[in-house]
Amino acid sequence: MSTHAQPDRILRIVDLAMKLGRRHLAAYGSYKSRHDFVQAQLMTCLILRTYWKTTYRGVIEQLAVSSEVRKAIGLKKLPHYSTLAKFAARPKVLEVMGAMLATLAKSVEAADTSVCKDAAMDATGLPSTCASAHFESRRGKRHRRYVKLGVLVLCGSLVPASMALGWGPSNDKVQARELLDKASCAVRPDILYADAGYDAHWVHERCAEWGVMSVIKPVKHGEGPPRGLYRSQMTEKTLKKLGYGRRW
């Protein structure tokens, strides 16, 4: 995606990323570092890399042709792509990103509680490389695992309240506890929607402890209603009444 396609949106992303980065990151990772870039700047570059769906080299190339974005980040010079790669590999980066998401969700809820009444939880698979699936297939290479991303978002704003990363293929419930624990520290919606991949009695119980109504489509095994106090209540009529379609 070109940096000229949606300049206002990109600048808003940069502004938000820098504000959150400064709040959750020290200026420098070590007193011995060269102090060429503050950590908030490097984190913002990583966020732009994800937004532009590019490589470490790619995001540096994009920044090289966008003086406005460089100025918004406060970059007097561009970092080497390997600097971004090393920063991304630090063990605390995902933890900091989770804290940034929690702060963002809290601020959204504080500003307008009406957009935080409903939340939805889901997971998807992402490629572990920037190479296209067509290119990989032409090489005759098949990947048996992929990056598994689980997210819990606020339906009214689509702001993510929590995320969990792992390797797939795996059951969606593997990441459910982490998503719920992280989100419960940031927001408390009235309803949480999730598909049948999260159907389990303990998921309903964890939501009840959170003070949130869980609306999860049950997996049917044979004849009769699903077992369990919560699962048995998830009939088609109840799902429709509770607005299960908002999960989409």
Q: Residue 80 carries which DSSP code?
A: P
Helices 56-64 & 81-88, crossing angle to 10 degrees? 130
- pTM here is 0.80
Phi/psi of residue 50, nearest 5 degrees: -70, -45
Check residue 6 and give its pLDDT.
73
Check residue 143 and give its pLDDT.
61
Whether domain 105-247 has CATH 3.30.420: yes
Q: Which two tokens stand for residue 115?
A: 């957009």
Check residue 66 and give its pLDDT.
94
Render each residue's pLDDT in the chain as its tens digit; 248 residues.
444 447 789 999 999 999 999 999 999 988 777 889 999 999 999 999 999 989 999 999 999 999 999 999 999 999 999 999 999 999 899 899 999 999 999 998 888 877 779 999 999 988 776 655 555 566 666 667 888 999 999 998 889 999 999 998 899 999 999 999 999 999 999 999 999 999 999 999 999 999 999 999 999 877 767 888 899 999 999 999 999 988 88
Instruction: Please enumerate in sequence order all residues whose Cβ is within 8 A of that of 76, keeping only pairs 6 or more positions apart, or say none.
Output: none
Check residue 129 and give its pLDDT.
65
Domain ranges in the chain? 7-90, 105-247
Check residue 4 and give its pLDDT.
46
Q: Which two tokens stand for residue 47?
A: 């966020």
